[in-house]
Amino acid sequence: MTLTIVQVGAPVLRSPARPLTKEEIRSQEIQLLIEQMRETMHGAPGVGLAAPQVGVPIQLVVIEDPAQLQARFTEQQLAERERQPIPFHVLINPQIQLLSDCTIDFFEGCLSIAGYTAITPRYTAVRVHALNERAEELALTASGWYARIVQHEVDHLNGTLYIDRCNLHTFSTYENKEQFWDK
Ligand code: ZN
């Protein structure tokens, strides 16, 4: 079953999400939510989804950047973005630490701001501490496009959207971005 993706303007997208206990993570309710968020992300399709985007104010995100979503980009585009396939995984109660002072600009979109995109700076590398879907502690380093996805999704848990960080003069529909910016 796929869930409805909440659109911008809904208060749940602008409120801090609460952390989960290890007991809650192992509950049937959260395990089902993870499965439904995974299906919803696949259906959209998207490369990440945060629980507030399906109306649930908890600190849980799912991420996956499968090869088939990258097929429409050229080798050069993928190389510029440092974009590589990322397998499905879950981050719960994530804490981000910046590993770089450098930011890089690319167009970014959000399933909760459907149809629009804008150039958004993101740090090039981050370290993440979180719990996984089995409530086990994990630490990972993300760089390139993956670092962008992680920062975007963790922002959702703090009520922050890419439109708070983007260059607003570049805010476009996807159609106009293709027509006027991709040349
Ligand atoms: Zn988003």
Q: Which residue in 175, 137, 150 sits closest to 61, CA to CA? A: 150
**pLDDT (0 to 100) of residue 150:** 98
CA 106–ligand 1 middle distance (angstroms): 15
Q: Give the pair of three-digit tokens for residue 130.
A: 């979180």
112's tokens: 């909760």
Please tell me the predicted confidence (pLDDT) of residue 50. 98
CA atoms within a 13 Å half-sphere pointing along the CA-CB vector of 62: 23
What is the predicted pLDDT for the residue at 183? Answer: 72
pLDDT score, position 182 = 85
Q: Is 64 helix (H, G, I), strand (E, B) or coil?
A: strand
Question: Is the peptide bond preceding residue 52 cis, with omega within 30 degrees of 0?
Answer: no
| CA angle 61–3–64, rounded 5-degree value | 35
pLDDT of residue 1: 87
pTM score of the predicted model: 0.97
SS3 (DSSP) at 9: coil
d(CA 114, CA 118): 12
CA of 110 to the centre of ligand 1 (A): 4
Give the distance (Å) from ligand 1 centre to CA of residue 115. Answer: 12
Q: Which of 64, 133, 153, 178 is catalytic?
A: 153
Residue 25: predicted pLDDT: 98
Is residue 157 within 8 Å of residue 50, measured between CB atoms?
yes
Number of H helices, E strands in the chain: 6, 8
Distance 49 CA to ligand 1 centre (A): 7
pLDDT along the chain (183 residues), means of 10: 96 98 98 98 97 98 96 93 97 97 97 98 98 98 98 98 98 96 83
Instruction: Quickly count: other Cβ atoms within 10 Å of residue 3's Cβ.
Output: 18
Answer whether 174's CB lies under 8 Å from 123's CB.
no
Sign of CA pseudo-dihedral 121, 124, 129, 130: positive
- Is residue 153 annotated as a catalytic residue, yes or no? yes
